[in-house]
Amino acid sequence: MSEKRKFELIKKSKQNNARLGKIYTSHGEINTPVFMPVGTQGTVKTLTPEELKGIGVEIILGNVYHLYLRPGDELIKEAGGLHKFMNWQGPILTDSGGYQVFSLAELRKITEEHVEFKSHIDGSSQFLDPEKVIQIQTNLGSDIMMSFDECIPYPCEYDYARQAMERTLRWSGRCKQAYINKNIEEQLLFGITQGGTYKDLRKKSIEGTIEIGFDGYAIGGLSVGEPKDLMFEILNDTMTIFPEDKPRYLMGIGTPVDLWECIELGVDMFDCVMPTRNARNGQVFTSRGKLVIKNAKHKRDFRPLDLECDCYTCRNYTRAYLQHLFNAKEILALKLNTLHNLHFMIQLIFKIRRAIQEDKFLEEKKKFLDKYMNMD
């Protein structure tokens, strides 16, 4: 491991476990807490890199599973890496594919060695293992690589959850070894912890993963169907086990409310397809809660989506126009909604950072939720 600084803890809230930090990558710094838009297939759906930058996005996600299958990580390597291929010059985190194998692929077969599966694109037989996942992420050239994990469903028997967690630990070890062998310090490697909804397994997973040693630690396998309170409980009980001097990444989460709740518990990084996917389904965030653009009441509403928003969409278009575009199945609708929703998430993160900085987290959280949960 290099002694170069990769994470800096800048401030701890006086009110709770919320923190401000900075991650250093070869494509620039990332301030934390951070929300990472998902760019599954080498593009954050509907938006250009310039548009992402324009709304303050600091880092985006790519997916090993998707990019390995199409267009192939070797093609992307030939293109000069994922940054150059997709024209995004900021930091990129790539997910290792564990979750996608679990949620998308067909006919999975998990052994100690690897996972075999059939591609959801063409049905071809494929496999991923820890070494291959590191190789793919090396080819992609992502700034933050994730270790390979086994993601279990909810509910899940204790015994299987334990086996999967232990296998994930062994795979994490193999990922770390493959990473060391490659001598690719310009890329950070994060470990993923598992354990389902069993607190003792979660603790063992975290301790074991820390023992292997990574540049950051992710919490995987949550928000897969378990009650939300149970998720918060697990986070609350386990967050303090993570070392203070490493970033903590809660994978696949979350809603605006989740962000407040989880940052309060000490989470630094988030990703979620929800803001972009909802946008394409015509659901947008506003400071007064969610708004469904198809609703009849917006037909002649010549106000912006959110009166308090200054994004491109809200500065230039009305709810009436956005409903028309959406009903007419116009592609521009999807882009304008996406731009708005991501802007909302990024502005929310900015607001939360300021609240931590000024030790006003609890007051600002209450103010936000009072308005957001009491939509008119």
Q: How many CB atoms lie within 10 A of CB 328?
A: 9
Our finding on whether 321 is near a copy of itself (CB under 8 A) is yes
Q: How far is the CB of 72 from a copy of itself (least distance, A)?
A: 9
CB nearer to a copy of itself: pick between 70 and 170: 70
Our finding on whether 281 is near a copy of itself (CB under 8 A) is no
Under DSSP, the state recorded for 38 is B
**What distances in angstroms separate CA 304 from CA 1, 171, 247, one per listed residue?**
50, 49, 37
CB nearer to a copy of itself: pick between 75 and 375: 75
Place of tokens 């709810």: 319
Per CB under 8 A, contacts with a copy of itself among 289-318 are 299-300, 302, 312, 316-318
Judge whether 170 and 110 are in contact, CB under 8 Å. Answer: no
CB nearer to a copy of itself: pick between 123 and 289: 123
Which part of the chain contacts a copy of itself (CB under 8 A), choosing from 138-146, 251-259, 328-336, 355-363?
Answer: 328-336
Our finding on whether 20 is near a copy of itself (CB under 8 A) is no
Per CB under 8 A, contacts with a copy of itself among 57-76 are 66, 70-71, 75
Q: How far is the CB of 270 from a copy of itself (least distance, A)?
A: 23
Single out the catalytic residue among 143, 268, 271, 306: 271
Single out the catalytic residue among 73, 95, 143, 215: 95
Our finding on whether 86 is near a copy of itself (CB under 8 A) is yes
**Which residues, other chains included, contact 229 with Cβ-Cβ below 8 Å and sequence gap of 6+?**
none
Q: Which amino acid is at 333?
A: A
Our finding on whether 328 is near a copy of itself (CB under 8 A) is yes
Q: How far is the CB of 372 from a copy of itself (least distance, A)?
A: 28
Our finding on whether 38 is near a copy of itself (CB under 8 A) is no
Is 215 among the catalytic positions? Answer: no
Residue 211 belongs to what H/E stretch? Answer: helix 199-212
Strands (E), the chain: 7-12, 19-25, 28-32, 34-36, 60-63, 92-95, 106-110, 115-118, 125-128, 144-146, 188-193, 216-219, 248-250, 269-271, 283-286, 289-292
Taken as a whole, the chain contains a residue count of 376
CB nearer to a copy of itself: pick between 281 and 357: 281
Instruction: Please classify residue 76 by burial: count the beta carbons closer than 10 Å to its beta carbon, then call 0-12 exposed, 13-18 middle and 19+ buried.
Output: buried
Is 200 among the catalytic positions? Answer: no
Strand partners for 30: 23
HEC sequence for 220-242 = CCCCCCCCHHHHHHHHHHHHHHC
Our finding on whether 283 is near a copy of itself (CB under 8 A) is no
CA separation for the pair 262, 218 (Å, rounded): 13
Q: How far is the CB of 297 from a copy of itself (least distance, A)?
A: 14
Query: Which residues are identified as catalytic?
Result: 95, 271
List of residues contacting a copy of itself (CB under 8 A) = 41-43, 45-48, 66, 70-71, 75, 78-80, 85-87, 299-300, 302, 312, 316-318, 320-321, 323-325, 327-328, 330-332, 334-335
